[in-house]
Structure 1
């Protein structure tokens, strides 16, 4: 009898692992991450049904050796926004994002022009202040956040993420509207 119960328990554990985590109580969750965090949320969306939508802010979808992550190889059936900058965009990012986009489905790509990788963080507002105070050269600023004005980029990034989740997650409380067109060119990119 002990052996039979043990086999049943092992079989049940294997079924539970295949089924994935239990459903999340309450409304569906959204996830957002920047750089390696963006990579992590894209892969988490692929693996975890509790996440209903995700925003990847310039995270690669491959390993350093070029092997595509499962989300890029197999796609996702839930909304995913790939948001990037023209300053950080390179062949590796394009290749890994294109692999996912080639599957079709609810994946979109947006690009903020005249910006760079760290524009998605607090550096977007801090780095220009360092430059203004003479503590950073213009080239250093451009290589971190780009040349665009933070009075434009900070609300644009905030609105990009908020509007994506407003479209793809049930609303619990009203979202305060932000002006979408603030002078920063936002381009839909098709690969």
Structure 2
């Protein structure tokens, strides 16, 4: 009659002539396939998450600590700013004597600061920034007509030392290689927009040696 609901059709196979049993079988297969797909999707998500969290670092550290170490290694200022120039070209004047610092000590200074660094200096007095053994390097700003602060980069120091060694190296009475010099250059002011300031630098014998 008109009140009857037409039953859903289910294909009857020659191997299974029972419509009800065959429909149940199809539903069972469908459910199994769906579960397999869900399991595969879940495994893929977990594998991706594990790969994203993997940090090739010290396995003895906790995951949180290893993540922090990786970020620090990637953003370390000494990694991204190994060579810092805060000053412009320099003049050079030879002052080498028998009492000048050893070239070998001055070369150690260059090696020690090769990793990076900037020194902030006030112009009022002379400042000895680095030293090793008999060798020292310092700067002095011309503070007139006013005091100011300026920056000196590690590469500025390295360049003036290596250029002095190249141009002015001599032998003392004992046959040791020695060097001493000074020069003038302009170094960047501490504050943005301040420009450059005249600076005198010196490569000389360390007073404590």
Range of TM-score over shorter length: under 0.3
* Structure with more contact order per residue of length (Cα contacts < 8 Å, sep ≥ 6): 2
Bigger helix fraction = 1
Bigger strand fraction = 2
Q: Which has the larger radius of gyration?
A: 2
Give the TM-score normalised by structure 1.
0.23
